[in-house]
Amino acid sequence: MKLEHRKEFFRRLQAIDPEPTTELEYQSTFELLIAVILSAQATDVGVNLATRRLFRRANTPEDILALGIDTLKDYIRTIGLFNSKAANIIKTCKILMEAHSSKVPSDRTELEALPGVGRKTANVVLNTAFGQPTLAVDTHIFRVANRTGLALGKTPLIIERKLLKSIPAAYLQNAHHWLILHGRYVCKARTPNCPECIVRDLCRTGKKRVN
């Protein structure tokens, strides 16, 4: 996609959603971290239902450790892979308390050293909580990037690196959320809503779908 088209692509997304953010519910950086860990292979809706109950009871590393792993599992039982996620959360809380004074670090290496935190989770926290221009390439961003022609690649890491280079600097901070929301509600996997898409004339496949 040409530079002028990339600028127009994000200008339009910005026009309809000037201040995009995650659909995960949180009140602190720690709550965001826990919600993102839980969101792997789960929906934001499902995570929010669980964390609304959990965070009323425990929303600090100390509080969650006090719950114990069995009680934590009861709170997140409706979420996929809850057993392994509970174990990772308990381990992460211990590390945060012992190594980071119960604060979530803003350094990528330190974040990725936490159990249950991979590159994608770290990118969400760095972008949403700390305002860093990162991209967490989930299935939505991967699909939108390849389908539209913003970036072509066979792995999330390739797409991430290409997007960081190709997205105009003025839009990079919020691009993560715009692309996820566009993929979730418009550029859907099985039934993309191309006729209603505001960037279809800039998309390498959208134009073909509506012609």
**pLDDT tens track, the chain, 211 positions:** 899 999 999 999 999 999 999 999 999 999 999 999 999 989 999 999 999 999 999 999 999 999 999 999 999 999 999 999 999 999 999 999 999 999 999 999 999 999 999 999 999 999 999 999 999 999 999 999 999 999 999 999 999 999 999 999 999 999 999 999 999 999 999 999 999 999 999 998 875 655 5
Query: What residues act catalytically?
Result: 120, 138
List where CATH 1.10.1670.10 sits in the chain.
Answer: 3-20+135-210
Q: CATH: 2.60.40.10, 1.10.1670.10, 3.40.50.620, 3.40.640.10. Which one for 3-20+135-210?
A: 1.10.1670.10
φ, ψ of residue 164 to 5 degrees: the values are -60, -30
* Amino acid in the structure at residue 176: H
List where CATH 1.10.340.30 sits in the chain.
Answer: 29-128
* pLDDT at residue number 205: 84
In this prediction the pTM is 0.90
* Amino acid in the structure at residue 49: L
* pLDDT at residue number 10: 97
Fold of domain 29-128: Endonuclease III; domain 1 (1.10.340)
